[in-house]
Structure 1
């Protein structure tokens, strides 16, 4: 199967400025640091998990909205926690953010598999982005791009949710004789591939644009394959921000993963 890779920024004529990459990284990092402080302080004060989760979510949203609005007053913003202004649909530049990806994990003391997503979209394509992993003090961004570790060898590793693995992951795991490993948020799972902890992140069953926009931007910057499960382009900033599926993986596993998924999609398996 020939894999057609999605166009990169330079091939679309779109190019984020260096300051956009830096802004995404700094805003994600600052929001993440605040979330760490909120969680520790509130749990120490005896707050319940729901209170910690909701407070962190809204405070991170406010911080990100304020920072982006101040730095880029002419840009539109789509945030999971904000009111959707459909004026963004005609905007040239749209920031798509998830202030707290993995609220369940965040609200469990000691868990580190949650994230903060900040991405810039131009013409439907992510051109800059950052994913902060605050509990481990790490932010991965599009510039400087992450350095992808060498392949580990052995059986491919597919990262899935702690609950029921999605159908896409099971299909790919069976086709590639891969082993499953569990993590929490979408950002944490995608960054596990970027960091070399896993090889493939295949998700079906639906996400929203803010769930994978920044992870896709960072994954592509690292040299990974990122597409829909049928191999088509991942596009963003639609009126309905629902995205059915995503595949992020090392390039050496892209063709076989897409072939396995294609057979099921076309009813051949």
Structure 2
């Protein structure tokens, strides 16, 4: 599939900025960064804010006509007037960053007409750089990703919250409810075949999903809410209802089970 020159240029800009942002995060990791508690009880660090500033200082001047949505920037519904939108998660896995573990990443996606068309997820501490462009495939450090798939869920390695996993236990899954991996890395791991699926019940923020969704789709998988409906981004409320991500056959089996009374 041919990709327009504009999208190719946007993707290169996105990839370069995510890598630079990840290197900034790596330089701050395992140091005594300042941290605060947000009104919703989640934590934010000096690293989150500095990486967000880097994204803003790089992307906004170069693409002034694009909308903006980031976990660390107050939402402005003016974004909805734009056909193209950057969705940024400066650090997904802030707790791991604070605890000086390596299960955190920098993630960003470009949305066009409500759908992701370019994405990158960078796990700097282990040098894993995931990229995808719509119609061009998904890659890890330059190597193409293809999701292994099966109609059976017996023995499938699924990461998710306890509510979602408990509803699938009768199918013989191997569930991981620990929550050690942030959502973007769970999606990246599905794309890379390290997990057979990711499931979650409840609202999930767009910045936790958009980049990883494109990785899974371009690796041959499927992503949706628990009802089976696909995601549309750049809506008034920046969240989606649940998550099911897996190879296409497993995805269909999971959704069917979750929808069965």
Residues 105, 259 of structure 1: CA spacing in aligned structure 2 closer, same or farther, 3 A cutoff?
same
1:54 and 2:45 aligned: yes
User: Which residue of the partner structure matches residue 88 of structure 1?
Assistant: 79
The aligned counterpart of 1:253 is 250
1:38-87 deviations in whole A, cap 9, x for unaligned?
A: 124x24xxx56669951101001000111111321211111110122211
TM-score by length of 1: 0.82
Q: Using the TM superposition, give the Cα deviation of residue 114 of structure 1 relative to its aligned residue in structure 2, in angstroms.
A: 1.2
Gap regions ≥5 residues in structure 1? 1-8
Total equivalences in the alignment: 244
Q: Which has the higher strand share?
A: 2
- Residue equivalent to 1:5: none
Identify which of 20, 25, 31 aligns with 2:10: 20
* Contact 2:36 2:44 (8 Å CA) reproduced: yes
CA distance change for structure 1 residues 142 and 216 in 2, over 3 Å: closer, same or farther? Answer: same
* Gap change, CA 1:245 and 1:16, over 3 Å in 2: farther
TM-score normalised by structure 2 residue count: 0.85
Change (3 A) 1:91 1:14: farther
Q: Residues 212-259 of structure 1: CA distance to partner in whole angstroms, max 9, x if unpaired?
A: 111111211111111111111111111111222111112231221011
- State whether structure 2 residue 208 is matched by structure 1 residue 217: no
Poorly superposed stretches of 4+, deviation over 6 Å: 13-16
Q: Which has the higher contact order (CA 8 A, sep 6+)?
A: 1
RMSD: 2.6
Aligned counterparts of 1:180 and 1:196: Cα–Cα separation in 2: 15
Partner of 1:6: none
Higher helix share: 1
| Residues 150/217 of structure 1: CA separation in 2 closer, same or farther (3 Å cut) | closer
Q: State the Cα distance separating 1:141 from its structure 2 match.
A: 1.1
Q: 1:37 to 1:53 in 2, by over 3 A?
A: farther
Partner of 2:182: 185
Q: Unaligned 5+ residue runs, structure 2?
A: 38-42, 140-144
Confirm whether residue 148 of structure 1 aligns to residue 138 of structure 2. Answer: no
